[in-house]
Every structure is written in C-alpha cells, then in structure tokens.
Amino acid sequence: MIALAAAATAAMTPALAQETTTATTEAAAAAGPGDFSLGSPDAPVKIVEYASFTCPHCAHFHETVFGQLKKDYIDTGKVQFTLREVYFDRYGLWAALIARCGGEMKYFGIQDMLFAKQTEWAASEDPAQVVENLKTIGRSAGLEDAAMEACLNDTANAEALIKQFQTNFEADGVEGTPTIFINGTKYSNMAYEDLKPILDAELAK
C-alpha cells in the first residue's frame, strides 16, 4: 500500500508555515465523507472510477471519454457515475478538498476544471503556488476565499478522506489510475469506443 502518512500530514494544512496536528478523529473517519455521484441512482449501470486529480491519464480520460459518456449515458439515465478520489500526493488531496468545498452542486463542475487545467495548476514545485492555483479554480466556481481556507485546513475531513481512500483502494484491489468498475467488474483505462460496447452489453442484460 502506498505510504501516504507523511504527505497526508503535510497536506492537512496547506498554510505551510503552520504546524499540523493529528488529533484523533475516529468518529469522523468512521462515518466517512462519502463519494459524489452524477446521474440517476436508479440507473441500471453503475460506473465507479478511481482517479487522482494529479494523474495525467485520468485527465486524458476525462478529456476524451467522460464528456461523451455523460452525454450518451449519464444524462440519459442509463448510467450513474461515481468518482472515488485517489491521493497519490498532497496536491491531489488539496485538489479534492477544493472540489468538495462547494458541496455536491459544485463538485463535478470543479472536477472538470481540475482535470482540464491539470497541467497549469499542478505544475509548480512551490506548494504555496499550487494552493493559490487551486483557489483560483475555486473562485471561478464561486467559492469564497474564507470557505476555501476552512476546507483546506479541515484536518478531520482530510484524515477521513485519506482513511476512506485507503480502505476502498485496498478493498477493491486498485493498482493504478484510472481504474473503472462497471457494475462491479474492474477495467483499466480505455477509449470511449472500447467503453461503449461494454455499457451497451450491460444495458442489454
């Protein structure tokens, strides 16, 4: 399993000069922050994608596949799509904290921007600059600076997210990103022309 403890501790307080505390948050972690889904909960096909906001292959999937998937299957009630965030690094966790900061209504809009602008916001080696880049994306989605500061420094939520990620990642046997589950069957990254017949076959059952 990926060793995330050190990165996670640093990630919990992106105001880098501050000291982090790892107070026990068993209650929050036990409940879990949950995942966000798009599409009808009654859809016959359920897709779960494991993705990192800093993964170039994930950004490519969302650029070349997700839009068509949404148009043809999610928006038409055939597929419910759930994103399960993977935190390979602190930048990915910070991005998730910003995406989640506006709640379910804003989550997928911010997700789109994070993937589309990945090479811009995640390129800097200066963590403080990355935080500012993420805030710029948040502002464009209507988030206030004070709210983003609170979200980025919510240690309990960050710890719960990391625990949730580690539990799901191990339980589902995920080894890389993006990994896609279609009605429980695991698939690796694929083009839309390969995904479509799998979805159609599931819908025909």
User: Which pLDDT tens digit goes with each residue over 48-92?
Assistant: 999 999 999 999 999 999 999 999 999 999 999 999 999 999 999
CA 63, distance to chain mean position in Å, is 15
Is pTM, for the whole model, over 0.75? yes
Q: Is the pLDDT of residue 162 over 60?
A: yes
Residue type, 180: I
Q: Is the pLDDT of residue 179 over 60?
A: yes
Structure tokens of 108?
């997928």
CA 179, distance to chain mean position in Å, is 12
List the beta strands (DSSP E) in the chain. Answer: 36-38, 45-51, 79-85, 179-182, 185-187
Q: How far is it between the farthest Cα atoms of the chain?
A: 56
List the beta strands (DSSP E) in 11-145. Answer: 36-38, 45-51, 79-85
Q: Which residues contact 8 (CB under 8 A, 6 or more apart)?
A: 87, 90, 93, 158, 159, 162
In the chain, what are the domains? 37-203 (3.40.30.10)
CA 150, distance to chain mean position in Å, is 19
Helix, strand and coil content of the chain, in percent to the nearest 5, comes to 55, 10, 35
Q: Is the pLDDT of residue 2 over 50?
A: no
